[in-house]
Structure 1
């Protein structure tokens, strides 16, 4: 995009946002103007031509404002057997009348929390789309889990997306959890429009001492959706953060996930699964930053790609000079079911400490023909045998979802995709 177009888009988006967070927005605007939309020369977007896709698909860069969501729509999109609380959003705008009141948890509009340190975790200088969101997000939600709170059931963030007077949706979520708190969040977006839209999401999570946070994300967007999702968290001493990200649909999806390990005896976990067909494109970029001694991280991403789909995995593990006694594991495995499917994978380790245990690796190949023959020799039809092997491959990621209703829902979605589209 030209500089002029970039400025016009920013002006159009900023013209529609409300008051509040002027300094925060100014910092986001400056960072976006410095970076601009990524080009094919941008190393971080080398295999994902998102700017070209935005130019082709998005005709109206105005914000897609809130719209009416019904109670029946909410009910229809809550997982069977789910017993937790639900927070409902329409294009990123919180809908309190359709949402639960969560005992012991503060939920408020960001506009009511002007002192929230937006941009202190997901810093706008790291990524242009993070900067764009910070400059021009609408609405936004603040969630605070108090010290020692044990929230036994998960909290579902149910966001309905629809191109509505514009095609740009920019949800913003700030979550903080006090010392010794435990909580699980589920992010699920529901597409209500076949019209292309651009969802540019940012979530910042601030943990305390010995805080246990789990964050699950299911991406099953419309076939014309373009999405950038940025999630970044700080982990303090004795804390633990686990992310499970499942990508099933969307024209082009970019996931930025960063875990900053800032305290000893802490643990960061990243698990991801992407099942792609058609011309879907999913790019997972992860950062695990070990800054102190005695910490651990685990990362496992798996992909199954068919037709002309494309997957990108770029995982970075940083072990700083003071991060002695670090244990870090990273693995990316892919199965290609078509000669036209492509995956670009680049696991990376950057280590400045000398007393560590770190490993990384990647594999890309086809289904195991010997295993397929073994199952067929025992009377299992070829298609069924193929599905069993693919599900066994994917199941290792799904096993890290602790909420039974959501795990069963994800299993059903994966099995449906494996059975009908592969």
Structure 2
């Protein structure tokens, strides 16, 4: 029998699937998806070190070394105070709190606005909610990524959110995921945004233990015609936590989608963002900031697929690497043959603060149409020594001068975050790290 990368993990996942099969396969259609995902893992394994998509991020090896995928008892329940401390101060939002993959109503808010409904994934599956079958693994595709397959096999919980046509949701919906056990947690969020609706979704994952933990989150987001949706991903986890995020988005005619990804801490983090512009008039904006220190490793992989004419996308990712940290950026833009009059722009800029910090960046642009305006590029360098000298010559301490320059470097990404409490949260972390 051929052995694949991550074979020990796949064996344990198979055992867990069989042990929980009755619970995981209560819905026939979703049971079929789970079985196919497991078969994909068994036949292909997890990404190996030479796999192009995971060339600079050997997540399989890290998980084999640090994470126990065998069945494990539930972790401790955090206090209300601990839960509150992990939230972004000053942010007025609807909080949906999941602890070790389970929804905790006592730490969550009831969404009372008309035009939006929330249920847990387990409730949606049990009650035969059409959204569960409609979206479960339909956008993310288990056959295209092993960690999506892993999620589809074991994810029994998550948020199912439906925003009705023409609804304008006044407050952000904050999906808070907290892990308190040293094993793996898999959640899947299914989000359906109706025609001409407006909503902001924010997701944050935190770990409350010193031992290594692994969180695997998949978001499948459908944005209908004329809708305006904003999605925030905030990552400021522990230095021993491992995390993979898959966000898959499909857009309808004249819709607008904005993704803001901020990575600040974690042992190894992989973010996959995939956006398909499937109609005319779509707009997609992707803003990313990774501010890394210690030995933190963050890998951002983005894909924007223009399939129809008269659409627009703009992507700006910036990275600041300190100590022995490592950043990875791989951005792909596809402009299909039918996607005439496309405007697509991509930029990745990085600053290395030490000789031991590393960045690997690979912008990609593939065009099959001839009437387009597209650009992509990347830069990597150090702080401007002349600018640093100028500030220090005017009595500003070196650490403060560096912080000022790096704030300026990151300012356009931070401004794009729009939510003032999120901006303040990120700026405070930059200041604290650089003026320590």
Q: Which of 85, 98, 101 is the equivalent residue of 1:89?
A: 98
Partner residue in 2 for 1:397? 413
Q: 2:6 & 2:359 partners in 1: Cα distance?
A: 31
Partner residue in 2 for 1:161? 179
Partner residue in 2 for 1:73? 82
Q: Which of 11, 16, 20 is the equivalent residue of 2:14?
A: 11
Q: 1:179 to 1:41 in 2, by over 3 A?
A: same
Q: 1:415 to 1:61 in 2, by over 3 A?
A: farther
Report deviation, 1:239: 0.5
Q: 1:211 to 1:63 in 2, by over 3 A?
A: farther
Q: 2:141 & 2:72 partners in 1: Cα distance?
A: 22
Q: Which of 319, 329, 336 is the equivalent residue of 1:320?
A: 336
CA contact (8 A) 2:122 2:156 kept: no
Partner residue in 1 for 2:58? 49
Partner residue in 2 for 1:113? 124
SS of structure 2 residue aligned to 1:97: helix
Which runs of 5 or more residues in structure 2 are unaligned?
Answer: none
Q: 1:66 & 1:241 partners in 2: Cα distance?
A: 36
Q: 1:3 & 1:139 partners in 2: Cα distance?
A: 24
TM-score (structure 1 length as normaliser) = 0.95
CA contact (8 A) 1:91 1:171 kept: no
Q: 2:409 & 2:387 partners in 1: Cα distance?
A: 12
Report deviation, 1:64: 6.8
Matching of residue 58 in structure 1 with residue 67 in structure 2: yes
Q: 1:67 & 1:302 partners in 2: Cα distance?
A: 37
1:289-318 Cα distance to aligned partner (Å, 9 max, x none): 000000000111111111111111000000
Report deviation, 1:74: 2.8
Equivalences, count: 418
CA contact (8 A) 1:64 1:162 kept: no
Report deviation, 1:5: 2.0
Matching of residue 178 in structure 1 with residue 194 in structure 2: yes
CA contact (8 A) 1:234 1:260 kept: yes
Q: 1:143 to 1:228 in 2, by over 3 A?
A: same
Partner residue in 1 for 2:41? 32
Partner residue in 1 for 2:362? 346
Report deviation, 1:413: 1.9
SS of structure 1 residue aligned to 2:435: helix
Partner residue in 1 for 2:142? 124
CA contact (8 A) 2:239 2:266 kept: yes
Q: Which of 160, 166, 178 is the equivalent residue of 1:148?
A: 166
Report deviation, 1:58: 1.3
Q: 2:72 & 2:264 partners in 1: Cα distance?
A: 25
Q: Which of 374, 378, 383 is the equivalent residue of 2:390?
A: 374
Partner residue in 1 for 2:216? 200
CA contact (8 A) 2:13 2:69 kept: no
SS of structure 2 residue aligned to 1:322: coil
Q: 1:225 & 1:195 partners in 2: Cα distance?
A: 8
Q: Which of 320, 340, 350 is the equivalent residue of 1:304?
A: 320
Q: 1:236 to 1:8 in 2, by over 3 A?
A: same
Q: 2:190 & 2:289 partners in 1: Cα distance?
A: 25
Across the aligned residues of Structure 1 and Structure 2, the Cα RMSD in angstroms comes to 1.7
Matching of residue 287 in structure 1 with residue 296 in structure 2: no
Q: 1:64 & 1:144 partners in 2: Cα distance?
A: 32
1:54-92 Cα distance to aligned partner (Å, 9 max, x none): 121113443674753432223333333222211111022
Q: 1:140 to 1:243 in 2, by over 3 A?
A: same
SS of structure 2 residue aligned to 1:171: strand
Partner residue in 2 for 1:23? 32
CA contact (8 A) 2:245 2:271 kept: yes
Matching of residue 133 in structure 1 with residue 151 in structure 2: yes
1:215-234 Cα distance to aligned partner (Å, 9 max, x none): 11110111111111111111
Q: Which of 225, 241, 252 is the equivalent residue of 2:241?
A: 225
Q: Return 239-248 or 75-84, whichever deviates more.
A: 75-84
